[in-house]
Amino acid sequence: MNHRTDEYGGSDENRTRFLLETTKAIRQGIPDTTPLFVRLSASDWAEGGWDITDSVKLSKELKELGVDLIDTSSGGAIHNAKIDAKPNFQVPFAESIRNESNILTAAVGLITEPEQAESIIATGQADAVFLARAMLRNPRWALMAAEKLGVKIAWPLSLERGRTVS
């Protein structure tokens, strides 16, 4: 995908240079107490392309620069990539980066059920689960998940006022 021939193209070192330079500048520009997350596409799902080995190496470098968590995604840049998209299909990427780079990770991708998210955390496959489409489909997803998992939480006051008391 990167066909540049300058210092930002060609070798892996050159292709990661912009991210590493940007990360370094951001870390220097924000307080140490502010968490810094980086979203990586851990694999482009293409033969001979970027893969999990590359992502583990890059994650180690990002950790050295002060990144706190890798938001682990994959694919999307190559139009004909063969992606076996099914529940948890990207979780192994988060798990590999977590275990091999010793950095916190977030898992994403077709995580739709509370039990599924809970299992990812409970089994140590990732440190967090980030949801997008599931929460777009159901903006009340977090409250539904708490109820489904038997967790009692206080409702936000604005919602509490609208509840029917029986």
Percent of the chain residues past pLDDT 90, beyond the cut: 80
Q: What is the pLDDT of residues 116-164, one digit of tens each?
A: 999 999 999 999 999 999 999 999 999 899 999 999 888 778 877 776 6
**CB half-sphere exposure, 143, CA atoms < 13 A:** 8
| Residue 58: other Cβ atoms inside 10 A | 22
* SS3 readout for 69-84: EEEEECCCCCCCCCCC
Q: Which of 26-35, 83-92, 150-159 has the lowest mean pLDDT?
A: 150-159
What sign does the dihedral 50-51-57-62 (CA atoms) show? positive
**What domains does the chain contain, in order, with CATH numbers?**
12-131 (3.20.20.70)
Is residue 23 predicted with pLDDT exceeding 70? yes
pTM as predicted:
0.89
Which own/partner contact pairs does 79-84 have at CB distance under 8 Å and 24+ positions apart? 81/44, 81/45, 81/46, 82/45, 83/45
